[in-house]
Amino acid sequence: MRKWAVAISCLIAACGGTPPESQSTGGAPAPSPLGPPSPGGFAACPGLAEAGSCTVAGKPGIKVCAAGTVICATTVVSLTFDDALAQQLSAAAVLEKHGMRGTFFLNTWRLRTSNVENMTAAQAKGLQDRGHEIGGHTLDHPHLTTLSSDQQHVEICNDRANLISLGFDVQNFAYPFGDWNASVRQAVADCRYNSARDITGLTAEIAAETFVPKDALVLRAPRSVQRTDSVADLEALVTRAEGAGGWVLFTFHHICDGCATNGIRPDDLDGFLGWLEQRAKQGTGTARVRDVIGGSTQPAVTWP
């Protein structure tokens, strides 16, 4: 347990000093299509398309598909992947093996740059067709706070417009480097995103985001998963959140054995998700960001 406590404090070390807040009750995710069923996936949960809020013994939850059945999950884990890396296609297959779907935040420049490291638009379309969510992550992955308001809008709005024109249903955003300020946050709103994921905000007192977030445009989350994180470290973040319940958004980048500091070994991802799948018994399930945030897809905004 002591090792886990150390691991948790390490994972939330970059957190700001957000004060504790009371847990909101309820939650109002809009119905969202899940895509066609797949062998390891959602065929066993046909009712999930009508998912919504629920409660268990007074604790708020979200209806999700877990271990092949619909449960009221009072702890929900979102598995998010940044930067449109081709390696993440193998991660998607691991998710599907465990009946899970993730959220992939893509940069336009990677889709446009033919390179062994980058996902192609056709591959991303395949992810969406299999029920994964596609979100936005700017055109070029800049440090947004170093840009003018106009440039921020170009990076955020035109990336979203590009993704929509490619056929993606883009509702949610993730800040590159977790770098944002009031101006960047406003640009995210102006570009008609429903939410934006940060990579900080959890503290010793706050183990999870709430299902109705304090600020949907700054979703609180653990820092990005690092090569030095063990499977037990990731599990500890979930079990800690299970205390009061809530929403834990994991951020992954590279999927490889030692290729990057912000990587996870494929076997470790598989091990973590296998463990996570079994947490249905504790009322824990997984969902895409859009399943928790809800709302509809707003029109694309193009910035001149």
Q: Hey, which residues between 72 and 91 contact Zn ion (CB under 5 A)?
A: 82-83
**How does DSSP assign 35-69, residue by residue?**
-S--TTTGGG-GGGGG--EEEETTEEEEEEEETTE
Judged by beta carbon, residue 83 or residue 291, the one nearer Zn ion is 83
CA distance 198 to 289: 13
198 binds Zn ion (CB under 5 A): no
Residue closest to Zn ion (Cβ)? 82
- Total chain residues near Zn ion (CB under 5 A): 3
CB of 107 to Zn ion, least distance (A): 7
Q: Hey, which residues between 81 and 140 contact Zn ion (CB under 5 A)?
A: 82-83
With CB under 5 A as the contact rule, the residue among 176, 245, 263, 285 that binds Zn ion is 176
Encode 167-178 in three state secondary structure: CCCCCEEECHHH
229 binds Zn ion (CB under 5 A): no
Residue 3 structure tokens: 């090792």
Judged by beta carbon, residue 82 or residue 96, the one nearer Zn ion is 82
For residues 138 and 155, is the Cβ–Cβ distance under 8 A?
Answer: yes
Among the residue ranges 93-101, 155-163, 170-178, 254-262, the one whose residues contact Zn ion (CB under 5 A): 170-178
Helices 2-11 and 231-242 meet at what angle, rounded to 10?
Answer: 90
CB of 137 to Zn ion, least distance (A): 6
CA distance 220 to 171: 17
Residues forming contacts to Zn ion in the complex (CB under 5 A) are 82-83, 176
